[in-house]
A and B are shown apart, each in its own frame.
Chain A
Amino acid sequence: MERWALVSGLNGDADLYEQLQRDLKRQRGVAYLFVLGDLIGPDQDCNHLINRLQQPKPGDLQPHCIYGWWEDQLLASCGYRGEQRAQESRLEHGETFQRRLQQGVAAEHLPWLASLQYGFIELDCGLIHGSSVDVGDSLDESTSPLLLLDRLTRLDVNRLFTARSARQFRLELSGGQITSCVKDHSGEQSQEHVVPKRSVIGIGAGSEYCIYDPGSDHVSFQSASANSRHLKQGFA
């Protein structure tokens, strides 16, 4: 089966994207590239990268992009999320921060950024920048398993790929149960529920990314900078 590459946190860095594309060409069987948000970032001219994501160079792996936290902040500050969100963004981050973001992205790119989806559902996998609750929801290997199970349940997926924490990890829910006893007018009913076998995968950010084989459920964590020094790290 064709493998997926999942990247995030490019933060407007076109050179980093070039490095990732080169690295992906060296990987066998990678047919899909998912960019899980944070295409842009503050203090960067992001226009070159946005142009390339919209119009890939010949030989590029076609990127499938969703929006992330930085895009959400930019779009909120520009009124694409409604006046209330724009005001919240101003109060939370200040106008200087908003200007730093806005200066890095030409206005002509805003409609394209605004058209990006919150996430993808591919097979039984959810691909999201944060989580099923919020684009800013940061999940990592120390997050409560109960909360992770909730995030998986909300999407009804078996694997949730997330980028917000910038961590590379795989947390597998491998077992467990709970007893639920409900008392109402029809009487009392007790049921045992078991934890479904599901996973949350942190894909990393920047030069650190993830390759996933849906056929074997194998996750491999990569580093484009390390690979360029002929080093590889990964596990099943």
Chain B
Amino acid sequence: MTTTHAVISCLHANLAALEAVLEDIDQQGISTITCLGDLVGYGPQPNEVVQLVRERAIPTCQGCWDEDIIDGLNACECSYPSQLAEKRGHRAHHWTADQLTEENKAFLAGLPMTLRKDQLLFVHGSPNSQHEYLLPDMNAFAALERVETAGVETLFCGHTHQPYIRELSGGSIQVKVQARGTKTPREETMTLPMRRIVNAGSVGEPRHGNTKATYVVHDPISGDINIREVDYDVAKTCQAILDAGLPDVFAWRLRHGFEYAERAEDASHVCER
């Protein structure tokens, strides 16, 4: 029996993609799966996806979409790149909220913010918030702070829809400290530990430049982490999006594997809060 485990994220109500990824995981003989949230939103099968995660009893933490569906668009919408994108997001929110059964809403409401296993922490966005993006080019010291403050060696996250493995190593910080009443500053060096951030990408709405669903496989013994890509029936999900009356752009994004945002209206885009 293998000790490796799979980490999936951002399923976004895309049943075909989730089924393909679970099949790929099963074929490798992996029985431990962790999900980093965003089971719903954008996609056309929110109930089916939540139901499948429940049936497989996959430990799951709450994503920003899962939270918003329960609490009602309470998150800061600054993450939308344009006003039109924000309007589309709201349409998808209301559609999803109407579709979800009360039982599935209760399941999403009961999801924990984080899951911890030994020296591994699983979150949707960051340990601070489901809405914080840990992008691969984020300031390296700030990224390390997120892992170190959480008290773990490896942080698994999603939210960006772009899979990556980031290793932060060989770090140190020198400081001069002077307190009131002391004449000579005290000099110290802090040696920083090696830490990793692993982004699982997205099962249901990849935005890393191609249309394949992504997830990661981690071997806790060797420490190896592999980003997996899985083909699925993209056309089937795109058609279901159109049939459901969701914004066409969501289907366009699945066909291209990119974020889509208009630029003309961006200048006036303001945060709702």
Instruction: Tell me which of A149, A168, A171, A181 contacts B145 (CB under 8 A).
Output: A149
Interface residues of B in 101-146 (CB under 8 A from A): 136-137, 139-145
Confirm or deny: A174 has a beta carbon within 8 angstroms of a beta carbon on chain B: yes
Which residues of A are found within 8 Å of B178, using beta-carbon distances? 169-172, 235
CB distance from B156 to the nearest CB of A (A): 15
Which residues of B are found within 8 Å of A178, using beta-carbon distances? 140-141, 144, 168-172, 192
Complex Cα distance, B192 from A177, in Å, reads 10
Confirm or deny: B209 has a beta carbon within 8 angstroms of a beta carbon on chain A: yes
B180 and A168: CB pair below 8 A? yes
Known: A167-B179, A193-B141, A204-B180. A182 touches B136 (CB 8 A): yes
CB distance from A117 to the nearest CB of B (A): 16
Interface residues of B in 177-211 (CB under 8 A from A): 177-183, 185, 187-190, 192, 208-210
Which residues of B are found within 8 Å of A168, using beta-carbon distances? 179-180
Confirm or deny: A45 has a beta carbon within 8 angstroms of a beta carbon on chain B: no
- 0 or 1 for each of B152-165: is its CB under 8 Å from A? (1 = yes): 00000000001111
Confirm or deny: A123 has a beta carbon within 8 angstroms of a beta carbon on chain B: no
CB distance from A230 to the nearest CB of B (A): 17
Confirm or deny: A26 has a beta carbon within 8 angstroms of a beta carbon on chain B: no
Nearest A residue to B196 via CB reads A181
A172 and B163: CB pair below 8 A? no
Chain A residues with a Cβ closer than 8 Å to the other chain, count: 36
Which residues of A are found within 8 Å of B268, using beta-carbon distances? none
A149 and B173: CB pair below 8 A? yes
Confirm or deny: B176 has a beta carbon within 8 angstroms of a beta carbon on chain A: yes
Which residues of A are found within 8 Å of B179, using beta-carbon distances? 141, 167-169
Confirm or deny: B30 has a beta carbon within 8 angstroms of a beta carbon on chain A: no
Confirm or deny: A56 has a beta carbon within 8 angstroms of a beta carbon on chain B: no
CB distance from A29 to the nearest CB of B (A): 21
B209 and A179: CB pair below 8 A? no
Confirm or deny: A195 has a beta carbon within 8 angstroms of a beta carbon on chain B: yes
B227 and A179: CB pair below 8 A? no
- 0 or 1 for each of A146-183: is its CB under 8 Å from B? (1 = yes): 11011001100000000000011111111111111111
CB distance from A85 to the nearest CB of B (A): 14
CB distance from B192 to the nearest CB of A (A): 6
CB distance from A178 to the nearest CB of B (A): 3
Q: Identify the interface centre among B179, B183, B227: most chain A CB within 10 Å of its CB.
A: B179
Complex Cα distance, B136 from A184, in Å, reads 9
Confirm or deny: A208 has a beta carbon within 8 angstroms of a beta carbon on chain B: yes
CB distance from B55 to the nearest CB of A (A): 31
Known: A141-B179, A153-B141. A179 touches B172 (CB 8 A): no
Offer 9 A-B interface pairs, CB within 8 angstroms, sorted by A: A145-B190, A150-B141, A172-B177, A174-B176, A176-B172, A178-B140, A178-B170, A181-B167, A184-B163
Residues of B bordering A, CB below 8 Å = 136-137, 139-145, 148-149, 162-183, 185, 187-190, 192, 208-210, 227, 229
Q: Other CB < 8 Å A-B pairs besides A145-B173, A145-B190, 10 of them?
A: A141-B179, A144-B148, A171-B177, A172-B175, A180-B143, A182-B136, A184-B136, A184-B227, A185-B210, A195-B174
Nearest 5 interchain pairs by C-beta: A178-B171, A168-B180, A175-B174, A176-B173, A150-B145
